[in-house]
Amino acid sequence: MKYQGSKRVWAVCFLAGLATLSVAVRAEEVEVVTVTVKGRGMTEDEACRDALRNALEQGGKIELASRSQVENFELIRDTILSRADGIVTDYEILRRGDAVGGFQFCEIRADVSKTAIASTWGEVQNVLDQIGQPGIAVYILERIDGVTQDSSILESNIENRLLAKGFKVYAGEQLRAIAAKESADADLEGNLAKMNAIAKDFGTQIFITGTAQANAAGVKDLYGQETAMYNGDAMIKMYYTDTGQLMASEPIPTWRGGARGFFTHSPQAGKKALDNAGKEIVERCYRSIMRQWATRISAGGEIELQIEGMSIAEALKLKKKIKAIDPDKIRSVHGPRATKGVMTFRIKAKMTAEDFATYLVEDDWAAIIEIVDLKSNRIQAKKVGP
């Protein structure tokens, strides 16, 4: 009887163990969610990236929603979605091909790890805690029938999209007003350097600029209603403000739009054409910004270090010293490049220029160089001593 009792106890323990194992297995299974989704884009690559974003958003819906009360939720969430191709690494392309409207589609089956989402969330949040919300200046030159407009519909649409997602936005009106005080022709298309300098003074990390135009294309009868038609096109470019490095270029080919009217030339119809284009180009601009922004804060951004009065030999020695600061944070050091007495280094680093500058003012660094100007991604310094 005693043996049988022990046997019953062992059986109960064994069953309890199985139950515990079962719970553990189920918990582990929940960590990875398999989803089948579609994406679309202007190219096959864009369609695939869109599918990966959709997979991450659908598979990690509960994980992402659980953080909805976190400060900068929208910005962190979209940054993570923009890094989908690095987070969703296990996927299979099921179908892809042409879609309506000249787009491409891609359908995938993907495994989404909630653990990967959680770790990525923490990484992005830590970066934002250090550098704050990224600032962006927007300036789009817009013309209707060759006449420059005082305000830009496309510019406004881009600004509203960025504001809604947590960016600090400096409107084109601000840039135009300051430029007008400094130079009569500062708002002309060719004076990009002037506008970029003003955007830099705002302390922005990104400068979005470009042109958009709409031109009369006749009057058309649409369902019994006379409609003034307009054709338009646009070119938008995005730069890192401090370095002038091109982030992305988004050309939008000819589109069409119109508004009710009997006259060929109708500013209202032109604005409608620009507004129609805005929906697509704004989304493409936003995704380009987020993709570059996500790469910058994960793989390390570029810091430009400019030093005046230093010889090439001294600069080469300094390069070794920069590399030795912290191998985990300093990914690579390019340069020096000598231009008019200034040595320029381009440093790939997992830190901001401000963080990097803290190393350059301590100990023996202070005896080599003196920092004279500090921006979000650029440091200007001069050599100390003879």
Q: What is the CATH number of the domain that holds 250?
A: 3.30.160.150
User: Is 198's pLDDT higher than 80?
Assistant: no
Give a yes or no: residue 16 inside a domain. Answer: no
Mean pLDDT, the chain, integer:
78
Pair (126, 140) in one structural domain = no
Distance CA 163, CA 133 (A): 11
pLDDT at 188: 44
Residue 285 and residue 157 share a domain? yes
Containing domain of residue 353, as a range? 301-383
Instruction: Answer yes or no: do 195 and 209 share one domain.
Output: yes
**325 pLDDT higher than 80:** yes
318 close to 347: Cβ distance less than 8 angstroms? no
- Which residues have C-beta within 8 Å of that of residue 165, sequence separation ≥ 6? 74, 75, 78, 286
Whether residues 179 and 238 share a domain: the answer is yes
Collapsing DSSP to helix, strand or coil, 180 comes out as helix
> Tokens at residue 357, please?
């500058």
Confidence of residue 305 (pLDDT cuts 50, 70, 90): very high
Determine if the pTM surpasses 0.75. no
- Single residue among 105, 131, 157 that ends a domain in this structure: 131
Domain presence at residue 214? yes
State the average pLDDT over residues 99-120.
89
140 & 288 share domain:
yes
Residue 19 forms part of a structural domain: no
Question: Do 316 and 354 belong to one domain?
Answer: yes
At residue 28, the pLDDT reads 42
The pLDDT score that the predictor gives to residue 132 is: 63
Tokens 């646009």 map to which residue? 234
The pLDDT tens digits of the residues spanning 35-90 come to 999 999 888 988 998 999 999 999 999 889 888 888 888 888 888 888 888 889 88
Burial class (CB in 10 A: 0-12, 13-18, 19+), 85: middle
In a domain, 58, yes or no: yes
Please say which residue of 131, 151, 173 terminates a domain. 131
Judgement on whether residues 245 and 364 belong to the same structural domain of the protein: no
Quick one: pLDDT at residue 98? 92
Q: Do 307 and 274 belong together in one domain?
A: no
Domain count, the chain: 3
Q: What is the CATH number of the domain that holds 310?
A: 3.30.70
Question: Within this chain, do residues 144 and 291 fall inside the same structural domain, yes or no?
Answer: yes
Q: In the chain, what percentage of residues exceed pLDDT 70?
A: 77
Which residue among 85, 105, 131 closes a domain? 131
- What band does 24 get if pLDDT is binned at 50, 70 and 90? very low
User: Considering the domain boundaries, does residue 7 fall inside one?
Assistant: no
The answer to whether residues 176 and 249 belong to one domain is yes
Q: Does any domain span residue 25?
A: no
Whether 8 is covered by a domain: the verdict is no
Looking at the domain assignment, is residue 11 inside a domain? Answer: no
Question: Do 315 and 307 form a contact (C-beta atoms < 8 A)?
Answer: yes
CB burial string 111-129: b at 16+ within 10 A, e below: ebbbebbbebbebbbebbe
Residue 216 and residue 282 in one domain? yes
- Give the strand pairing for 225-240 and 246-260: antiparallel
To the nearest whole percent, how much of the chain has pLDDT over 90? 20
We report the CATH number of the domain holding residue 49 as 3.10.28.20
Q: Are residues 113 and 141 in the same domain?
A: no
